[in-house]
Every structure is written in structure tokens, then in C-alpha cells.
Amino acid sequence: MTWTQNFIPVNGSLALSALVAIVPTLFFFWALAIKRMKGIYAGLATLSVCLLIAVTAYGMPVTMALMSAVQGGVYGIIPIAWIIVTAVFLYKLTVKTGQFEIIRTSIVSITEDSRLQLLLIAFCFGAFLEGAAGFGAPVAICAALLIGLGFSPLSAAGLCLLADTAPVAFGSIGIPITAVAGPTGLPVQDISKMVGRQLPFISVFIPLYMVVVMVGWKKTKEVLPAIVVTGVSFALTQFLTSNFLGPELPDILSALVSMLCLTLFLKVWKPQSISRFAEQEAMAAIAATSEVPNAPHSAGKVLKAWSPFLVLTIFISLWGVSGFKDALVGGYKGNNGFLEAINMIGRALSFHPTVPGLHNLIIGADGQPIPAIFKLDLLGAAGTAVLFAAVVSKFILAVPWRTWWTTFGETVHELRIPLLTICSVVGFAYVTNSSGMSITLGKAVASAGMLFPLVSPLLGWLGVFITGSDTSSNMLFGNLQKVSATSIGMSPVLAVAANCSGGVMGKMISPQSIAVACAAVGMSGSESKLFRFTVRHSIFLVLLVCVITYLQFSVFSWMVP
């Protein structure tokens, strides 16, 4: 028996339907920001509220609503939770073997200043990981590195979420942009160009903004030259690559150029005073009183200590290479013998069973049944790339198998509650989409008429908040953006790009991102603190994108391809 989605279920009124549809989202805001619930309770409660509204207000059959939540929960495990487990596991291996102390010392040798360490790791290295992998890897890995350097868990998680805004639209080798080109029928290159004419304004601002958030304006002024080098080099590279190469490489190239420029700059320039957190001060004091306070490690020791993250970079990059990426999920169509062999393994480790009680039983807006499939690509998951890096690192660092397995088991045990939180909030996202609530909210925003260019980015922001993914938000609202823009004489390319650019500002408050970040830094149960830390920055930044979009529509229309 099928069920047809109804996007205006409450008395035929879009306004009333939107008020009902936004209740789960408002409940989640209330649960974390006001009630200050633990993440696991907020996630499960929000999922329950969402299920109740889906069944009672939207008329969704109970079985379909529950199975939609199950589908989301499974997706929460693979690939999202999987990459968190493996990333934290890799970090713990470096700590257990004593290698992270050498990593910390090598970073300190570039700069002892926490402000500059933040730029190098959270902004530059994080952007590289976002471009190569996405799915929470930048926050999980970079936040762990910052904690090892003496940052507090809240600062590490919050600042990494804030840093992971500029690169998200081009994340995972440009998937958010290439994915939305299909259903909208718009040229990939045009969307890439337009996003590349919006986000660089944000990219050049984010390094300044995140340092101000961390230490205030007075201390930020002391490192302005380094901030300018970081932001300008990143934004300029992002603009050039997105406009002349396409959406696949802006993050990776921008991150590498920015990291190189900042590192070279720090060879010839130093801030007048060093800014450290309290724990960093304690570390510096211990180092100063040690028998060999300033003895540098040899290049070989530094290379060995960094090897897990160098190997990680190789595997993550390889997992994103066209052809190899297809082979990992059993979808390679070429005639390369090596890739064909990988393809056989990938096919054997890829499971795509249909979701019982849900698959092709929901009729969407286009009158077509909506497929519901568990996508379990075990070899192709980004977390598996991190796991392979951990296996190779085991031999490089000479870690006994017993220690290796014990550390892995400890990691899973420590993350068990955060993983359940992730599953619950992803389940909430899937129920919101399957019931039609997200489309109701999208239609309400799209009904803004001539104000649509101003509020268009809010659609992407809302989509990423709900789904946790800029790609999913683009797939969800891309066509709606195109149709709404065309009806008022706005360029559909600008509207779709606004969805991409506005969406990235919702990443830092998405329930998935909050749960992932807290899991990575050991803040399970303190999700409300992190949410309250990021929400004001998210709102401020998305409003900036709204202003940029409106100006490009009304004043600087020559910027639209």
C-alpha cells in the first residue's frame, strides 16, 4: 500500500503547515539552547516529536515513519559514525605510542602561538580534509589535534566547526555542486563559478572571525598580518580554481596554498607576544624546566610521528580519485586491470538492500515512487580509508596488534553514547524528508516573492541544519530554488549557488555536526554547550550570505555567469 506526500496538510494552508513542520526544529533548538539537554536525550526527544507530527499532522503511516527513522539510523552508522570512530582511533594511536608529543613539538617549532596554530590546523588542514573526505573528518581530526596542543575541548570543537564553513560547498571533491547540477539541469561549471564568486568573501573573513571569537579583537590585531596571508591566499585560490578548473579541486588546492603561504610567512615574521591557553602555558613551563628544554627532534622522528596523518592524507585523497572511487563501491566501468580487481572487492563489500515497508511506497511531488535503500558501501566509506591508514600506521609505529585492537575497542566503548546520538539525529533528518516536512518549509521560504533573493540562502541553511549535508540540502531544495528564482526573474544559477553557500553556514549547528564534534573531543552529554557556542555565529554568517546574494541580484548582477 502506497502513501502520497502532502506538503500542505493543515487545512490547505501553507503558513499553518509550515508552522507545524518547523516544530521539531524549534524543539531541538529549545532542547539544546534553553533546556540544555544532553545530546542523546535531545536527539531521541526530537526524533519522537518528529515521528508524532509525521504520523498525526502529515498522515504518514506509522510503519513508514519508523522505517524511515531506521534508514536514517543506519546511515548514521555508515558512513558518518564510522569515520568518527576511525579518526579518533588514529589519533589515540599517536597518543598511546608517544608520537603525538613529537607532533605537538613540531607544530610548536613553527609557532607556539595558539592563534596561529588554529589557522594552520583548523582552517588550512581542516579545509584539506573537507575537500578530500568531508563527513565529519575535518572536525574529528583537527579538533583532536588542537586538544593535544592544549586547547580546551569546547574551543577545539567550536572553532573547528566555525572553520569548516568556507570549504564545505566544494567538499568531498566537489560533490555538493556536481550533485545538484543533475536534478536542476544547470551547468556544473556555472554553479561552480557562482559559488566561487560568493564564498571567497566569506573565506577571506573566516580566519579573522575565528581568531576574534577565540581571543577577542585586541589580541587578534597582533596577528593580523598572518590572518591576511591565510585568508587572502585561500580565497584567491578558491576563486581561481572554482572559476577556471571546476568544483573538484578548490578546497584541496586552496588549503595547500594557504598552508604553504602561512608556514613560509611565519619563517620571516613572528607576533610580538605569544598567546597560549592555560594548559599550553603549563606545557611550555614543563618544557622550559626539563633537562633538555629546547632539544629539537630529528627530521626522521618528526616524519615518523606525522606518518599516521601523512598516510591518512594519501588514503583520503586516493578514496576521492575518479575511477578508484567508483571501483571502491563496485561501480567501475573501465578496463584497467588493477581497478577491476578493486571493483570486485568493492562490489563484494557493498550492500544495497531495500528498506522493508518503505522502498517505493512513498509517492513524491512528481508522482513517482521514492526509492528507499540502505547504502552500505563498506570499502568505499571514508572511514575505511582512515582505518587503512591506522593499519599502515600500526607497522610504521611498531604498535603490537594487542595494543592496536585494545585501543580500537576503547575508542568504540568511549563513543557508544555519541554514536547513538548521531543515529537519532540522522533518523530525525530522514523522517523530516520522507514525511514532506522539509519541502513544506522550503515552499514557505520560497513564497517570499521579490524578497526571495534575500532569503534564498536561508533555504540552504535550513536544509543543512536538517540533513547535516550541503549535498543533501542541494538535492532537497535545488529545484525549488530554480523554480522560485525563475518566477521572479532571478538567475537560477544564483539561487542554486545561494543554496550551496547559505547551506555551509548551517553545518556548524546541524544536530549531526554537533554530535560528531562532541564525540570527537570527549564532550558527550555537553552538546548544548557546543550548540550555544556555534548558533550565534551560524546566524550571523548566513545573514552575510543573504546580503551578498541580494547585492549580486540587485546591484552586482554582472557577477552572475
Kindly state the helix (H) or strand (E) to which residue 448 belongs, with its residue range: none
Kindly state the helix (H) or strand (E) to which residue 3 belongs, with its residue range: strand 3-4
The predicted structure's pLDDT at residue 495 = 93
SS3 (DSSP) at 416: helix
Question: What's the number of CA atoms in the CB half-sphere (13 Å) around residue 156?
Answer: 27
The predicted structure's pLDDT at residue 135 = 64
What DSSP string runs through 36-48? ---HHHHHHHHHH
The predicted structure's pLDDT at residue 133 = 65
The predicted structure's pLDDT at residue 547 = 96
Task: Outline where 277-415 has alpha helix (H).
Answer: 278-289, 299-319, 324-328, 337-348, 382-396, 401-414
Closest CA to 4 of 361, 262, 518, 432: 361
The predicted structure's pLDDT at residue 291 = 47
Cβ distance 24 to 46 under 8 Å?
yes
Which neighbouring-strand residues pair with 377?
Answer: 350
Cβ distance 132 to 121 under 8 Å?
no
Distance CA 102, CA 107 (A): 9
Distance CA 216, CA 210 (A): 9
Cell triple for residue 222? 597582533
Distance CA 119, CA 125 (A): 9
Closest CA to 255 of 129, 144, 112, 386: 129
Every domain of the chain and the residues it spans: 10-291+315-361+370-559
User: Sign of the C-alpha dihedral, residues 35, 442, 136, 195?
Assistant: negative
What order of strands is seen across the sheet that includes strand 369-370? 3-4, 362-363, 369-370
The torsion region of residue 185 among left (phi > 0), alpha (psi -120 to 50) and beta comes to: left
The predicted structure's pLDDT at residue 284 = 56
**What are the backbone angles phi and psi of residue 58, rounded to the nearest 5°?**
-95, -10
Distance CA 347, CA 330 (A): 4
Burial class (CB in 10 A: 0-12, 13-18, 19+), 433: buried
The predicted structure's pLDDT at residue 542 = 95
Kindly state the helix (H) or strand (E) to which residue 399 belongs, with its residue range: none
Distance CA 30, CA 236 (A): 39
Cβ distance 428 to 124 under 8 Å?
no
Whole-prediction pTM = 0.81
Q: For residue 368, what is the DSSP state? A: P
The predicted structure's pLDDT at residue 245 = 85
> Cell 578493486 appears where?
342
Burial class (CB in 10 A: 0-12, 13-18, 19+), 33: middle
Q: What is the pLDDT along the chain (561 residues), one digit of tens a residue?
A: 899 999 999 998 999 999 999 899 889 889 888 888 888 888 899 999 999 999 999 999 999 999 999 998 888 888 778 877 888 888 889 888 988 888 878 887 888 899 999 999 999 988 988 887 666 678 888 888 898 888 999 999 999 999 988 888 888 778 788 877 877 888 889 999 999 999 999 999 999 999 999 999 999 999 999 999 999 999 999 999 999 988 878 888 899 899 999 999 999 999 988 887 766 565 555 555 554 444 567 888 888 988 988 898 788 778 877 789 889 988 888 888 899 999 999 999 999 999 999 999 999 877 889 899 998 889 988 889 889 999 999 999 999 999 999 999 998 988 888 788 888 888 888 898 899 888 888 888 888 888 889 999 998 998 888 877 887 788 778 878 888 888 888 999 999 999 999 999 999 998 888 888 888 888 888 889 999 999 999 999 999 999 999 999 998 999 998
> Alpha carbon of 195 to those of 493, 546, 551: distances in Å?
9, 13, 14
The predicted structure's pLDDT at residue 502 = 93
**The Cα angle at residue 298 between residues 292 and 303, in degrees rounded to 5:** 130
Give every CB contact of residue 148 below 8 A, 6+ residues apart in sequence: 91, 95, 100, 103, 104
